[in-house]
């Protein structure tokens, strides 16, 4: 049975780095895909003014979503303005009710920057509020009651802000879709220059591939992988609900390493 999948991340290209391989696998499984960056990317430049870069990054995000065959949803705020506040939560709740997802894919709750962490809080809260008649919703949308299973991707760099390795609950094989993952990330052309300057990522696309390869080694099963951890199901879905496992079959495994092994794999 087809499922609706909603991928929500902070900035244009975050989905591509940590989630897109899984999304291509879910597309192959017949799922309906939705794509949203909460922030518009208007600080991701050393060259353009805010309106210009926001327009460019919106166009790149739309191109990436189209390549995935996912429905694109507009951003809500500027970079560095992703705050967990009532007006933004009300707008996020409206989008959540419009999409009506069965599966919500979000970033790791303890990531290296606050935009990422606050995006997770907004998306998870909006999913929790899906059936609350009196929850603020802007614009108004009818609530829905059906289960939503929430999964967290690995953080960028595979480590928490305190530099501890993150070991996911399960791994999705993305070896066969790495070309698609790379092509989708390449749609974000403005970011090659920005990341070279701000974070020293000389090989934007290769950095993504190396991270997926590291996660593959952590899995002990796949050459390239993405990692996922299911959110506490209380208030969202049944205790045993695990639609990624049901949909992806042999392309997913719950085999995991411990923190010591993860450190070794990451070369720490």
State the average pLDDT for the chain: 93
**73-91, pLDDT tens digit by residue?**
999 999 999 999 999 999 9
Half-sphere exposure of 52 (CA within 13 A, CB side): 6
Which of 97-101, 199-203, 209-213, 231-235 shows the lowest per-residue confidence on average (mean pLDDT)?
199-203
* Least confident piece of the model among 192-196, 257-261, 263-267: 257-261
Q: What is the mean pLDDT of residues 217-224?
A: 94
Q: Is the pLDDT of residue 268 over 80?
A: no
Tokens (6 digits) for 182: 């790379």
86-89: long-range contacts, CB 8 A cutoff, minimum separation 24: 86/136, 87/138, 88/122, 89/122, 89/125, 89/126, 89/129, 89/136
Cβ burial of 239 (10 Å; 0-12, 13-18, 19+) is exposed
**For residues 123 and 128, what is the distance between their CA atoms, to the nearest angstrom?**
9
β strands within the chain, DSSP E = 4-9, 32-37, 71-73, 103-106, 149-153, 170-173, 225-230, 252-253
d(CA 103, CA 147): 9
Classify domain 4-265 at the CATH superfamily level: LmbE-like (3.40.50.10320)
* Per-residue pLDDT, 255: 65
Mean pLDDT for the stretch of residues 161-177: 95
Span 137-147, average pLDDT: 97
CB 254 within 8 A of CB 170: yes
Cβ neighbours for 155, distance < 8 A, ≥ 6 positions apart: 18, 107, 108, 110, 111, 112, 116, 166
- End-to-end Cα distance, the chain: 43
User: What DSSP line would sit under 74-100, residue for residue?
Assistant: ---B-TT-----HHHHHHHHHHHHHH-
Mean pLDDT, range 197-221, rounded to an integer? 84
Identify the pLDDT of residue 45.
86
Orientation of helix 114-128 relative to helix 86-99, angle to 10°: 60
Q: Stretch 5-12: mean pLDDT, rounded?
A: 98
> Which of the four pLDDT bands, split at 50, 70 and 90, describes residue 200?
low
Residue indicated by tokens 């920005």: 194
Residues near 200 by beta carbon (within 8 Å), at least 6 away in sequence: none
Write down the pLDDT at residue 156: 92
């Amino acid at each position: 049975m087809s499922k609706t999948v909603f991928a929500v991340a902070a900035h244009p290209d975050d989905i591509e780095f940590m989630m897109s391989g899984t999304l291509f696998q879910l597309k192959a499984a017949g799922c309906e895909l939705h794509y949203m960056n909460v922030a518009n990317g208007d600080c991701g430049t050393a060259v353009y003014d805010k309106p210009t870069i926001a327009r460019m990054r919106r166009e790149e995000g739309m191109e990436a979503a189209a390549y995935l065959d996912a429905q694109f949803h507009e951003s809500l705020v500027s970079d560095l303005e992703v705050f967990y506040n009532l007006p933004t939560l009300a707008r996020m709740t409206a989008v959540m009710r419009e999409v009506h997802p069965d599966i919500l894919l979000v970033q790791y709750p303890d990531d290296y920057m606050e935009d990422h962490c606050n995006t997770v809080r907004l998306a998870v809260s909006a999913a929790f509020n899906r059936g609350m008649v009196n929850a603020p919703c802007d614009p108004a949308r009818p609530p829905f009651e059906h289960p939503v299973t929430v999964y967290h991707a690995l953080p960028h760099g595979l480590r928490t802000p305190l530099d501890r390795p993150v070991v996911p609950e399960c791994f999705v094989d993305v070896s066969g879709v790495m070309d698609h993952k790379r092509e989708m990330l390449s749609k974000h052309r403005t970011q090659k220059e920005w990341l070279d300057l701000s974070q020293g990522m000389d090989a934007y696309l290769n950095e993504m591939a190396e991270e997926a390869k590291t996660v593959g080694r952590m899995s002990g099963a796949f050459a390239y992988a993405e990692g996922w951890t299911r959110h506490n199901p209380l208030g969202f879905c049944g205790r045993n609900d695990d639609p990624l496992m049901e949909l992806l079959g042999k392309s997913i495994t719950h085999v995991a390493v411990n923190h010591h092994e993860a450190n070794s794999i990451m070369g720490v």
